[in-house]
Structure 1
Amino acid sequence: MRMKFLYTLIKVGVIEIVQTSQKSHATAAQASVLMLASLLIFNDRAAAQTMEGNDTQAVEEIVVTGSRIARPEGSQSGPFIAVSAKEFSYTGTSNVEQLLNSFPQLVPGLTAASGSITEGDGSATADLRGLGAQRTLVLVNGRRWLFSDAQQIADLNTIPQALVERVEIVTGGSSAVYGSDAVSGVVNFVLKTDFEGFEASAKTGETVRGDGTELDFNILTGGNFADGRGNVVLSINYLKRNGIRASARNFSRQGFLEVLDQSGQAQLVPGGGSATVPEGRVSGFPTGAALASFPDLAAALQAAGLGGVGALGFIVDDGVPRPFQSPQDLFSFAQFDNIVIPQERWVASGFTDFDLTDRITAYAEATYSNNVVSIPIAPALLTQTIRIQTDNPLISQELRDLFAAIDAIDDTRGGIAGDGITALNFSRRMLESGNRVTRTERNAYKFTAGLRGDIGSLSDSAFKDIGFDGYYSYARTTNALSRQGVLSRSRFNQGILLNDEGTACLNPSGGCVPFNPFGANILSKDVIDFLSVNGAGGNSTSTLQVIATSVDGTLFDLPAGPLGLAIGGEWRKASSRFVPDDFTATGDVAGFSAAAPATAGSTEVYEGFAEVRIPLLKDLPFAQDVTANAAVRFSDYDIDGVGSVWTYSAGLEWVVSPEIALRGQLQRAIRAPSLLELFAPVSTGITVILDPCATPAAAADAGIRDTCIANGVPAALVGNSAIQTSTTLGTLVGGNPDLDAETADSFSLGASYTPQFAPGLRFKLDYYNIKLDDAIAGLAGGAANTVDLCFNVLQDADSAACRAINRDPLTGSIGGGGVGIDERNVNLSRIRVSGIDIGIDHSFDLDWGLVSGQSSVTLSFVGSWLDRFTTTPVPDLPTLKNRCAGAFGSICGEPKPEFKSTSRVTWQQGPLNLSVRWRLIGSAEDDRIVIGGRAPELVALQKISAQHYFDLTASWDIFEGLNLTSGILNLLDNAPPRTINVISANSRLNTYDGVGTRIFATLTAHF
């Protein structure tokens, strides 16, 4: 009660502040600047402080993320953010992605809200600059972290959060230093690997509505042995998080549909959902004007009360068929959605090092995590072609007459007319089987062992301060997927084909139980037991092995300082395999993807690298320190499409004066295709397409004709319908072992200003520009688009679209009896991203306090302005660009506002800390307007307004070794903005807070 009273009191005060701010009509960015300005002048004593610490001191050199050469702290050459462990404590974070996603440089990837109505495995990912988690390299202690599956994306849930000392985030391609995947940047988790003592913490939290309860326990212990020559650190973490159903929040309690009102203005109305309904829906027969050719069918429809049936077909409601009505009959997911998925996790880690000699240290690291996620989702859906007898005794006479009329025209639908069995397009939501539950258990471990040391100097003038490091690491992740509440497609078809008496299945094998599929909630438990294939799923195993060695030191001294050099080599082998059960392998699980057969694959790479740091000028006017850096890496892959590649970087750090520093960096990075992109199961599909080369227009249009001939159609057959013997064409989907590497060129330019008149104040400004080419993506968005793009738009036989279409060289037919259209992933699209990062830090003392006369204030601000986020999905159409800066939607995905920021103000006096965080997510416009050119009045939610989140934290050192930290997150209880997004509970819950106000408390004891 006391916490809720305090929360209410604080909330009222903050609302008044926000409302007052909103009346000024300042933009989000202006509001951020105004707040910072007011904070900077909060105490005029800060600017009048006497400058101290001007005495020359030894400058500590450290190895920072983005380089293998030790350098003075703060001399990074690119955009750099460091997040301390204190920030994790202030935010009550149990999963590291929760904190990372609050920084404007990251776009939320997979989070606790991912998989709200679909299958999710509880993974959490980092996505720098919105280029995709697969293009952000995750390191732990500077070494590549394990990945969760064949996508080769690191799961942040396997990182021991209690051990995190800080997180370093570097933007820009870093492949020359770290290898593949560091396209948009690197996120490096630096852990506490040298710890003495004992630390235990317990945290609990829940929303003010009493749900989403979270329990988090951590134990950390460490100590020295062998007279201080060795150290051991052990930690264990347990986390349990309860899920939150969408029905528990007003914004997600029901679905919404976009409709036009009488004035032609788009509006949101309750409704929406899926056309796969519990009653079962039949479609795929002639309707409307097409019925004029089938009078007997029209009469049968009329007799069954279906005279006005449309393309969506009909349902059987209480035994009576009637036309399907949209949106009234749509099935709403709302009652089955999750806005937070439940999770249970164990993480255990151990670190040790031992000084073998004064110069050589052996070290080892081991981490094990067990993560279990069980996600309840809507009941199984069945969407397939069924074959049913026209004299089925379990269905009504009206349906028997109707199905007989459809059977009579089956020869026009690819079947046999009048054989007593008709094929129907059928879909049904299987409410009788209850909710589906997808359970994923992930077991992951990583072991590293190595030697590092200091060789010393080979001479006084060259090869000095030489150090080395070499290690081997092995990581293994297994995912066990098991589904409950799922049904067999084949058994469904088996159960509706009956014997002549209608008392048993025509094929009684497997204990078949006959049933009537038409109608809601009519299937018995015996039927559901027969249809059920509970436990369907599979097991995947992924491994990563790394051997890496490096040597660094001073090559020789230059007038401006030592020339630093690092050289080394690395070997990596990644492998993955998937073993499904029989139902999953054959695609027999209703409501899920097509067949997923067993697969396996591996990749291997040998690399050599070098890095140099060259001091150019020192202690000169306007050049206190000027240093150049460069790096190069050669990678030799066993992937045929990639082969051998070079990556490189070059940069300059220019310290103009003690107050001003400039920096710039150019980098070439790559991303080799993942195991999934290379070795995903290859399968054939079927699509219905009219071949443009088989139409009269092909003969009349010179552009189409020439393209057809170049594509393989004999000139004499262009425009002849005989070259298309069937509108049903085969397509090929799955992995593509011929993929090349993605390449990216990035450029950054930055400046920092540390004014001497205000000690503790620092400004940072960084411009970044990333150009990604040969991005791996699907071709043209489907087979029909591929054909249209080739013959009607590009008309270029050398284009990727035309090359994907295969013809018989003799007949000119697409496929010629084989696979006609290759829809596997290709290196195709381009992405361009640029923007500016802003950082401000300030700390100062105050002459007053609650207990004594002095206290201190620390201010921080991180903002990011997105200037450009442009994708070119078809390079052959360079003017066709998707401009996503400031947009969201089906094309742009998660909102990409032009401005985002995170600010924090912390006041400290002795054992007490009070901290306020303000997170700003700028506005974003629906991409149907920005890209699609749709009139604004035809879009119900044209724009998401800027969202402001305030968090309040108090930390109290009760006595030495015991701390209590408590906080209120989303203080104003902001609900997420509503969007047309059925798969994320009417919003974008990876970006916006969907749970509302949350209170947490953490008690930490340290001995």
Structure 2
Amino acid sequence: MNVESVLNTLPQVIPGSTGFSNNPGGGVATLNLRGLGSNRNLVLVNGRRYMFYDTSQVVDLNTIPAFLIDGVDVVTGGASAVYGSDAIAGVVNFRLRNDINGVEAGSQYSITEEGDGQRWDTYLAMGTDFDEGRGHITAYGEYYQRKAIFQGARDFSAVALGDSGTSLVPLGSSSVPNGRFYVNPSTVCVGSEDPNCVGGTSFTRGAGSLSANSTLGQYYTGPNTSRPFTTNDYYNYAPDNYLQVPQERWMLGAYANYEVNDWFNPYMELSFVNNRVANELAASPISGTFNIAVDNPFLSAADAASLAAIDAQEAAIDAALIAAGGAGRYNNPGVVGVGLASRTNAVSSRQALDERNAFRVLIGSTGAITSGIKYDAYYSYARTRNSNIQYGNISRSAFAAELLANRLNIFGPNLLSAEEVAAISITTQNTDISELQVAQASISGSLFDFGLGGGSVGFALGGEYRSVESQFIPDQALSSGDVVGFNGGDPTAGGYNVKEVFGELSVPLLGGLPFAEKLELNGAFRYSDYSLGGVGGVWTYTGGAQWAPVRDITFRAQYSRAVRAPNVSELFGGQSNGFPGATDPCATAGAQNDAALVAICTATGVPASAIGSGASLQPNPQIEGLFGGNPDLQEEVTDTYTAGVVLAPSFLPGLHVTADYFNIKVDNVITSLGGGVGGILNLCYNVFQDVNSIYCQAISRNDDGTIQNPTFVTAVNANAASLKTSGVDLSVDYTQTLGFGMFGAESKLNAFFQGTWTEKYEFAPVAGQQAYTCAGYFGVNYCSDPQGNPQSKYKWTSRLSLIDGPVTASLRWRHLSSVKADSLVNGDPVSASELAVPKLKAKDYLDLAFSIDLTDTYNFSFGVNNIGNVKPQLIGSDQQQANTYPGVYDVLGRDFYAAVRFRF
């Protein structure tokens, strides 16, 4: 019912965003070939670009009518010469049926063994030939609904888990609905600069219950009743999160073609999709230091006394500072700054509703120019608008004001009144708008024949124009930073266009000769002129050969140079300053004794006398950085090599085997420069030590060498990383007639196998530096980017089908090999004995399906997926969400479905 559920079983695919992606969510399903990232493969419908859903220019598979798919062509490896930008990992083309004459209607219902997660899909398609078969039109509509499953509905995801040494333990959150309140005792010296306060007066700020339990603090069990907080009071947020995200989808469309004459055959395609998806997270956690009045009526007696004592201490400190000729430090009698970690369950959970409306219009024409040459020209326009409405957000400023005014009772479970909820709550809305225009014209056909049995030389030549425009309009409250709950965002707006010329050539040199049953060469090129200054004009090209010494065996090889231009989000994403924790190597103790470090520090603007001076050179543990889009980005560049063999032995009719080796390398990969501020500083001063490197050039300093306003570290997007992957694809398809049948004259047995061995997958956040090994590994430490999901070294899908007249019975076997923790091989490797989950075991899933043609008009099918009710292995800190990777490992359990289809 959803395209994603089929494609993600392909061994070449590592799941991207799915119906199990709740945080982050958005209700989209994306394709991720080879694990290279959903923005590095191209999704086509009927061979043409489709509509994408946001500023990242990625297609949502939910917008493709699954019930009309006639076939799916998957081309893995660089294909930019043929299809243009984005086809780095490959191309997936969905071919829609054009053979409907009459009416087709169908409905399918699915439900898990637990009785939840219902999915219902119903569709109607009408098609007809007209004008004596010169034209055809198909119109369709679909309604799809998917019910939610919360993580609390499954044992494996009901409790949030984390790692504690070698054990999995309940993790939870220290921000709790009852509230957690604390004061960190601090020592203040007055009248002396000596750190030991020699000759001065020492004041200790902190007293009573709020400082007795350090940062654990006090926990309110009821109104005006508190006790010391313990780790057993941590909040289990798991049950409040979706395991399966609910979805509702309406789809309408039509496509038609008509042969006016030999040279003019117009066609058109229309699509409209309304997709509604909700995401839900636990109620907003709010933490930090907030001012509380000493006379707050909601405090327990012990905590009120503690606040009063602290307030008195602050008054004494201020008095001593003023008497010594200085200014008071606190200057706020009757008010104390208290650390709190609360959770606003009394408001609501955090809810985000995405409503995405997308449409696409395509018109074109094809026809003959000569008897051997035809043309094809079309124009398409696609637009997607997404409204993201968020509930359950809290205004930090309103929260602070209401708390200080003694109008906000967060001292206990769910004590907020309706007025208090209204005072601190804030509803926010973000908007995405994306547009794509494509105009293409091409000619293709045959040129001449070498006369050596190979056939005619084929060619294609054409031009294309594309325009991309996208914008992200964040809610002003979110972008201001005042909202607690969902993440804020900065505005994004921009676009670009590209003009292209392309050509393809197929040259069959030999055919039907000894040791040359077939010998064919192919090649393609594309020149693209981007309006982007960082890209400009780029060439992509490919070349390959096929050689069949005999009819039963064919060898093939291909080389491709492909590119991906940066998308709107990467280019024009709003830039903003942040303050991450980082260390300035020039300020560290002993830096002045390292000659190489002294040289590079001096070259980048640090006075020699300041090197190694600690706080004088780095006054704060945070260093300001600039983050966001970079309009000067260049294109990513890929080299792909493939070589393989095709076997179709004449002595074993019905057998077809293909095996292909692939090797893909992506350079200039777009990522945050150096991995962020800390990475840039480390790479400049400890690794490259070259003032002209992009890392040193990203650092600006003041005259005294410090990095603080108005200077900062520029950590915007850059072409800084690299990716490599290689392996072997194997496909085996065999059909054997059985010579007998129970429901038909003769039955047949089909065995199909499709598998991939991933030899290596390496991601280097900084090109030329240590690459992280990720093939056969999982984790959030090193292998979470760019694909984010475990990549088994061995993944296959096999199917055994018995076709007996109108009855088909099919057994499918899906296999994922084991994966190990990525910290075992990357960075400073640890031993397996030090980890709570050093390995995820192999998973095997069996699915059973039956299809019965009751008549020529009616079909009934039913089946069960995950017959063995195989559950995911529990993971702690290395999880994606729900204590596992829900897009990779089955989280529904045993799942049943039944469907009917009518044709008349």
Pairwise TM-score range, normalised by the shorter structure: over 0.9
Give the Cα–Cα distance (whole angstroms) in 2 for the partners of residues 886 and 644 of structure 1. Answer: 38
Render the CA deviation track for 1:71-110: whole Å, top value 9, x for unaligned: xxxxxxxxxxxxxxxxxxxxxxx11010000111100111
Alignment map for 1:909-920 (pairs within 5 Å) = 909-920=804-815
Alignment map for 1:901-980 (pairs within 5 Å) = 901-932=796-827, 933-980=829-876
The 3 A distance-change label for structure 1 pair 516 and 707 is farther
Whether contact under 8 Å (1:486, 1:589) holds in the other structure is: yes
Q: Could you say which residue in structure 2 is the equivalent of 1:7?
A: none
Whether contact under 8 Å (1:304, 1:402) holds in the other structure is: no
Q: Could you say which residue in structure 1 is the equivalent of 2:731?
A: 839
Whether contact under 8 Å (1:633, 1:646) holds in the other structure is: yes
Q: Could you say which residue in structure 1 is the equivalent of 2:285?
A: 381
Unaligned stretches of 5+ in structure 1?
A: 1-93, 261-265, 458-464, 503-513
Give the Cα–Cα distance (whole angstroms) in 2 for the partners of residues 229 and 794 of structure 1. Answer: 68
Is 1:860 the counterpart of 2:752? The answer is yes
Whether contact under 8 Å (1:515, 1:523) holds in the other structure is: yes
Render the CA deviation track for 1:113-157: whole Å, top value 9, x for unaligned: 111xx3521100111000011101100000011110001111000
Q: Could you say which residue in structure 2 is the equivalent of 1:57?
A: none
Give the Cα–Cα distance (whole angstroms) in 2 for the partners of residues 1004 and 523 of structure 1. Answer: 53
Whether contact under 8 Å (1:300, 1:405) holds in the other structure is: no
Render the CA deviation track for 1:27-67: whole Å, top value 9, x for unaligned: xxxxxxxxxxxxxxxxxxxxxxxxxxxxxxxxxxxxxxxxx
Q: Could you say which residue in structure 2 is the equivalent of 1:655?
A: 548
Q: What is the CA-CA distance between 1:292 and the residue it aligns to?
A: 9.2
Render the CA deviation track for 1:316-369: whole Å, top value 9, x for unaligned: 55446665544x232212211221111100111100111121222001101100
Is 1:599 the counterpart of 2:492? The answer is yes
Whether contact under 8 Å (1:298, 1:307) holds in the other structure is: no
Alignment map for 1:497-646 (pairs within 5 Å) = 497-498=404-405, 514-534=407-427, 536-559=428-451, 560-594=454-488, 596-646=489-539
Give the Cα–Cα distance (whole angstroms) in 2 for the partners of residues 715 and 299 of structure 1. Answer: 39
Q: Could you say which residue in structure 2 is the equivalent of 1:494?
A: 401
Q: 2:629 aligns with which of 727, 735, 742?
A: 735
The 3 A distance-change label for structure 1 pair 730 and 862 is same
The 3 A distance-change label for structure 1 pair 955 and 688 is closer
The 3 A distance-change label for structure 1 pair 715 and 256 is closer
Report the AA paired with residue 888 of structure 1: F
Q: Could you say which residue in structure 2 is the equivalent of 1:279?
A: 178
Is 1:782 the counterpart of 2:691? The answer is no
Give the Cα–Cα distance (whole angstroms) in 1 for the partners of residues 53 and 141 of structure 2. Answer: 20
Give the Cα–Cα distance (whole angstroms) in 2 for the partners of residues 727 and 922 of structure 1. Answer: 43
Q: 1:677 aligns with which of 566, 570, 581?
A: 570
Q: Could you say which residue in structure 2 is the equivalent of 1:446?
A: 360
The 3 A distance-change label for structure 1 pair 745 and 690 is closer
- SS of aligned partner of 1:999: strand
Q: Could you say which residue in structure 1 is the equivalent of 2:369?
A: 455
Q: 2:599 aligns with which of 696, 706, 709?
A: 706
Q: What is the CA-CA distance between 1:772 and the residue it aligns to?
A: 0.7
Q: 1:1000 aligns with which of 873, 892, 897?
A: 897
Whether contact under 8 Å (1:297, 1:402) holds in the other structure is: no
Give the Cα–Cα distance (whole angstroms) in 1 for the partners of residues 172 and 580 of structure 2. Answer: 25
Report the AA paired with residue 466 of structure 1: I
Render the CA deviation track for 1:908-935: whole Å, top value 9, x for unaligned: 1111111110101111111122325112
- SS of aligned partner of 1:707: helix
Give the Cα–Cα distance (whole angstroms) in 2 for the partners of residues 751 and 229 of structure 1. Answer: 41
The 3 A distance-change label for structure 1 pair 779 and 316 is farther
Unaligned stretches of 5+ in structure 2?
A: 190-194, 322-326
Give the Cα–Cα distance (whole angstroms) in 2 for the partners of residues 843 and 542 of structure 1. Answer: 46
Is 1:331 the counterpart of 2:331? The answer is no
Give the Cα–Cα distance (whole angstroms) in 1 for the partners of residues 822 and 108 of structure 2. Answer: 41
The 3 A distance-change label for structure 1 pair 517 and 184 is same
The 3 A distance-change label for structure 1 pair 704 and 217 is same
Whether contact under 8 Å (1:220, 1:236) holds in the other structure is: yes
Render the CA deviation track for 1:629-678: whole Å, top value 9, x for unaligned: 11111111111211111111110111221100011000011111111111
- SS of aligned partner of 1:866: strand
The 3 A distance-change label for structure 1 pair 285 and 308 is closer
Q: Could you say which residue in structure 2 is the equivalent of 1:120?
A: 25
Give the Cα–Cα distance (whole angstroms) in 2 for the partners of residues 752 and 583 of structure 1. Answer: 59
The 3 A distance-change label for structure 1 pair 139 and 406 is farther
Report the AA paired with residue 1004 of structure 1: R
Whether contact under 8 Å (1:729, 1:819) holds in the other structure is: no
Is 1:799 the counterpart of 2:693? The answer is yes
Is 1:356 the counterpart of 2:265? The answer is no
Give the Cα–Cα distance (whole angstroms) in 2 for the partners of residues 435 and 582 of structure 1. Answer: 21
Report the AA paired with residue 969 of structure 1: N
Give the Cα–Cα distance (whole angstroms) in 1 for the partners of residues 639 and 593 of structure 2. Answer: 45
Give the Cα–Cα distance (whole angstroms) in 2 for the partners of residues 982 and 516 of structure 1. Answer: 35
TM-score, normalising length: structure 2: 0.92
Q: What is the CA-CA distance between 1:750 and the residue it aligns to?
A: 0.7
- Provide the aligned C-alpha RMSD in A: 2.5
Q: Could you say which residue in structure 1 is the equivalent of 2:341?
A: 427
Render the CA deviation track for 1:189-218: whole Å, top value 9, x for unaligned: 000135322111011110122111111001
Whether contact under 8 Å (1:287, 1:309) holds in the other structure is: no
Whether contact under 8 Å (2:750, 2:801) holds in the other structure is: yes
Whether contact under 8 Å (2:183, 2:210) holds in the other structure is: no
Is 1:183 the counterpart of 2:183? The answer is no
Alignment map for 1:679-694 (pairs within 5 Å) = 679-694=572-587
The 3 A distance-change label for structure 1 pair 959 and 194 is closer
Whether contact under 8 Å (2:430, 2:473) holds in the other structure is: yes
- SS of aligned partner of 2:16: coil
Task: Point out the more displaced range, 447-456 or 248-257.
Answer: 248-257
Give the Cα–Cα distance (whole angstroms) in 2 for the partners of residues 650 and 837 of structure 1. Answer: 20
Report the AA paired with residue 993 of structure 1: D
Report the AA paired with residue 220 of structure 1: A
Give the Cα–Cα distance (whole angstroms) in 2 for the partners of residues 682 and 180 of structure 1. Answer: 25
The 3 A distance-change label for structure 1 pair 998 and 685 is same
Give the Cα–Cα distance (whole angstroms) in 2 for the partners of residues 643 and 889 of structure 1. Answer: 38
Is 1:401 the counterpart of 2:314? The answer is no
Q: Could you say which residue in structure 1 is the equivalent of 2:324?
A: none
Corresponding residue pairs, total: 874
Give the Cα–Cα distance (whole angstroms) in 2 for the partners of residues 406 and 743 of structure 1. Answer: 63
Give the Cα–Cα distance (whole angstroms) in 1 for the partners of residues 243 and 380 of structure 2. Answer: 37
Q: What is the CA-CA distance between 1:621 and the residue it aligns to?
A: 1.4
- SS of aligned partner of 2:720: strand
Give the Cα–Cα distance (whole angstroms) in 1 for the partners of residues 125 and 310 of structure 2. Answer: 69
Give the Cα–Cα distance (whole angstroms) in 1 for the partners of residues 292 and 258 of structure 2. Answer: 73
TM-score, normalising length: structure 1: 0.83
Give the Cα–Cα distance (whole angstroms) in 2 for the partners of residues 402 and 803 of structure 1. Answer: 52
Q: Could you say which residue in structure 1 is the equivalent of 2:167?
A: 267
Q: Could you say which residue in structure 2 is the equivalent of 1:884?
A: 774
Q: What is the CA-CA distance between 1:295 and the residue it aligns to?
A: 10
- SS of aligned partner of 2:577: strand
- SS of aligned partner of 2:206: helix
Q: What is the CA-CA distance between 1:724 and the residue it aligns to?
A: 4.5
Give the Cα–Cα distance (whole angstroms) in 1 for the partners of residues 185 and 634 of structure 2. Answer: 46
Report the AA paired with residue 380 of structure 1: S
Render the CA deviation track for 1:555-575: whole Å, top value 9, x for unaligned: 332234322111111111111
Give the Cα–Cα distance (whole angstroms) in 1 for the partners of residues 821 and 201 of structure 2. Answer: 46
Alignment map for 1:473-492 (pairs within 5 Å) = 473-492=380-399
Whether contact under 8 Å (1:647, 1:668) holds in the other structure is: yes
Q: What is the CA-CA distance between 1:282 and the residue it aligns to?
A: 4.6
The 3 A distance-change label for structure 1 pair 345 and 635 is same
Q: What is the CA-CA distance between 1:801 and the residue it aligns to?
A: 2.9
Q: Could you say which residue in structure 1 is the equivalent of 2:718?
A: 826
The 3 A distance-change label for structure 1 pair 848 and 194 is closer
Whether contact under 8 Å (2:376, 2:441) holds in the other structure is: yes
Task: Point out the more displaced range, 819-828 or 238-247.
Answer: 819-828
Give the Cα–Cα distance (whole angstroms) in 2 for the partners of residues 208 and 698 of structure 1. Answer: 63
Report the AA paired with residue 659 of structure 1: D
